[in-house]
Amino acid sequence: MSKPKVAFYWCASCGGCEETVVDLAEDILGVVEKVDIVLWPVAMDFKYKDIESMPDRSIVATLLNGAIRTSEQEEMAVLLRRKSQYLIAYGACAHLGGIPALANQFSREQILKFNYEDCPGMVNERKTRPQLHFEENGCSPHLPEFRNVVRTLDQVVDVDFYIPGCPPTPNLTKAAFDALLSGKLPPKGSVLAPDSALCDECDRKKTKPSDIAFLEFKRPHQALFDPEKCFLAQGVVCMGPATRSGCGAVCTSGNMPCTGCFGPTSRVRDQGAKILSSLCANIGPRDEEGINKVLEGIPDPVGTFYRYGLAKSLLRRKVNLPTSGNGH
């Protein structure tokens, strides 16, 4: 019997998710033994046309990491969707937009202008920018389009499962493979991680205050943290209460507050609004001036509360940015 076919693909991502697959360490051998990897651009050489020529649904599972920003990523998402029985959004960017989705606060023009003209060290006197089509030595290459909006994978194609995390942990990845290979899969649309808040698996939960009155918020570079006390008790924004567990609380055990990369539990639709709600309810002062003074410690609520989830938030993007059409 032939081994089940598996594909890995990357879109707008940093490469960290690929690392996690490699971090399976010896476990990866177990996986590789049981499957036939048909596409994995970071590690092996395959051509897209090999995928195109495969029958539809002949790949058992595709693990796709990265947000969707370019037309090429969209095309690959659509192609892999068609060729796969299960399409899995792997990692925070495919799941929620991730760090790349913070760009949803800026227009396409602002981003291109900064990167090709204004950024420090840029020398580009003719203000050249990438073109979709151009002539070069008799060839006419075609480049992917840079879209106006950063999207999650499920905002482009239908997704079967989500593996959360920036990046996902090897444990979750291995558990997902075990589930896939044994056919013991949860209902479609599930996030393959526990459906409880991170605080539940955090060692600091013992000291999590049930009643707290914040008088200030300190940012990570502004204080030395007690290695055992709940971050909230230290006046530090911790996304734990609004974030799904499953990472093993790696950040809080490394003495850093959780920044929310696993996204919300199934009972929360908008992670940012949820943490805003719970933090603000517990601010000490009752008058506007006093409240705002405390809130000065959160200078960038969008970047803090939607660090990984802006694309998937209720508003998705700064609402007054131009878009219309393809912007060219």
Partner 1 sequence: MTDPSKSPNGGWTPRIVAFFCNWCTYTAADLAGVSRLKYSSNIRVIRLMCSGRVDPQFILDAFSRGADGVLIGGCHPNDCHYVEGNYKMLRRFQLLKRMLADLGIEEQRLRLEWISAAEGEKVKRVVNEMTTQIKALGPLGMPEKFRDWDQEVIELAHHVEKSGAAACCCGSAAAPKDSKAEVAHV
Between the CA of residue 88 and those of 22, 34, 141, 188, what are the distances in Å? 18, 18, 31, 10
81 binds, among ligand SF4, partner 1, none (CB under 5 to 8 A by kind): partner 1
Binding of residue 52 to partner 1 (CB under 8 A): yes
CB of 27 to ligand SF4, least distance (A): 19
Q: Is 148 helix (H, G, I), strand (E, B) or coil?
A: strand
Please, which residue, 34 or 218, has the CB nearer to ligand SF4? 218
Interface residue with ligand SF4, options 230, 242, 268, 283 (CB under 6 A): 230
CB of 298 to partner 1, least distance (A): 7
CB of 272 to ligand SF4, least distance (A): 14
Binding of residue 259 to partner 1 (CB under 8 A): no
CB contact burial 91-103 (16+ within 10 A = b; e otherwise): bbbbbbbbbbbbb
CB of 69 to partner 1, least distance (A): 11
Cα 93 to Cα 166: distance, rounded to the nearest angstrom: 8
Burial label, 174 (beta-carbon count in 10 A; 0-12, 13-18, 19+)? middle
Binding of residue 193 to ligand SF4 (CB under 6 A): no
CB of 22 to ligand SF4, least distance (A): 18
Answer whether 302's CB lies under 8 Å from 105's CB: yes
Q: Which DSSP string do the residues of 128-142 spell out, in sequence order?
A: ----SB--BTTB--B
277 binds, among ligand SF4, partner 1, none (CB under 5 to 8 A by kind): partner 1
Helix axes 170-182, 26-34, angle to 10 degrees: 20
Q: Which DSSP string do the residues of 176-187 spell out, in sequence order?
A: HHHHHHHT---S
Amino acid at 134: F
CB of 311 to ligand SF4, least distance (A): 17
In eight-state DSSP terms, residue 244 is B
Binding of residue 8 to ligand SF4 (CB under 6 A): no
The torsion defined by the Cα of 38, 42, 46 and 52, in degrees rounded to 10, comes to 70
Binding of residue 9 to ligand SF4 (CB under 6 A): no
Binding of residue 191 to ligand SF4 (CB under 6 A): no
Helix (H) or strand (E) run with residue 34 in it: helix 26-34
Interface residue with ligand SF4, options 62, 104, 259, 265 (CB under 6 A): 259
Q: Summarize as ranges the residues that interact with partner 1 (CB under 8 A).
A: 48-49, 51-52, 71, 74-79, 81-82, 105, 145, 147-149, 151, 154-158, 266-270, 272-274, 276-277, 280-281, 283, 286, 288, 291-292, 295, 298, 300-302, 305, 313-321, 323-327
Q: Summarize as ranges the residues that interact with ligand SF4 (CB under 6 A).
A: 166, 198-199, 202, 204-205, 208, 230-232, 238, 240-241, 243, 247, 249-252, 258-262
